[in-house]
């Protein structure tokens, strides 16, 4: 696994990820450069997009950036930042493509899901306004008429295992909707019901 390094605030910082995400390694370095020197200290937790980074001190005085194991859906911190880099790249690319300003959604936030929607063929993803801590505002429902099924909460990063195609849309603003057929995006609409998917 390739390793990228940069000296930041007098500390050699190491980032490990797939070569295709070299640009995101630079983005992680820039986040650290924009923060006080104390942010590079061992065990500090730093927000980076939807997730978090934590420097881990090494015997040689350098630090390795770690991130939660979102791909494995565990609370463990890992040195391979490829998943975090992929998410960051996909979300930034989608915001640019749709021409919208982001609204934060953390990997640890919750999504309300209608029973069966994680496996259903035709679904919609709707973000509503909420001030409840830990609630992303996202709802995943089955696109069919009739009575609603039961509801459940899932953690946002679990979409990496169940509906990866929704990950790029998590930073869309309130009252935006995404329509899917299987893994294909059929449309994206804004708060005024204007079609953004072209």
The whole-number pLDDT of residue 176 equals 98
Residues 169, 129 share a domain: yes
* Residues 6+ positions from 34 with CB-CB distance below 8 Å: none
Count of structural domains within the chain: 2
The whole-number pLDDT of residue 196 equals 96
Contact 86, 21 (CB under 8 A): yes
Taking the C-alpha atoms of residue 108 and residue 193, their distance in angstroms, rounded to an integer, is: 29
Taking the C-alpha atoms of residue 123 and residue 121, their distance in angstroms, rounded to an integer, is: 6
Q: How confident is the model at residue 134 (pLDDT cuts 50, 70, 90)?
A: very high
Residues 40, 85 share a domain: yes
Whether residue 196 lies inside any domain: the answer is: no
Query: 29-86: per-residue pLDDT in tens?
Result: 999 999 999 999 999 999 999 999 999 999 999 999 999 999 886 779 999 999 999 9
Question: Where in the sequence is the domain holding 41, given as residue range(s)?
Answer: 3-92
Whether residue 195 lies inside any domain: the answer is: no
**What are the φ/ψ torsions at residue 87 (nearest 5 degrees)?**
-60, -50
Mean pLDDT in residue range 154-163: 94
Among 51, 73, 92, the domain boundary falls at 92
Sign, CA dihedral 81-84-86-92, equals negative
Please tell me the pTM assigned to this model.
0.90
């Amino acid at each position: 696994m390739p390793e990228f390094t940069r000296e930041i605030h007098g500390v050699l910082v190491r980032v490990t990820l797939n070569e295709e995400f070299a640009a995101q390694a630079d983005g992680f370095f820039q986040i650290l450069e924009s923060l006080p020197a104390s942010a590079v200290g061992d065990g500090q937790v730093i927000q980076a997009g939807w997730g978090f980074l934590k420097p881990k001190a090494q015997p040689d005085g350098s630090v390795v950036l770690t991130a939660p194991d979102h791909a494995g859906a565990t609370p463990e911190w890992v040195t391979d930042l490829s998943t975090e880099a992929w998410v960051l790249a996909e979300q930034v690319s989608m915001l640019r493509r749709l021409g919208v300003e982001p609204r934060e959604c953390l990997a640890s936030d919750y999504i309300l899901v209608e029973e069966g929607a994680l496996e259903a063929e035709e679904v919609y993803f709707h973000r509503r306004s909420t001030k409840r801590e830990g609630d992303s505002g996202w709802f995943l429902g089955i696109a069919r008429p009739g009575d609603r099924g039961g509801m459940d909460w899932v953690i946002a990063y679990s979409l990496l295992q169940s509906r990866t195609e929704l990950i790029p849309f998590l930073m869309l603003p309130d009252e935006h909707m995404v329509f899917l057929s299987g893994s294909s995006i059929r449309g994206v609409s804004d708060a005024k019901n204007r079609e953004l998917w072209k």
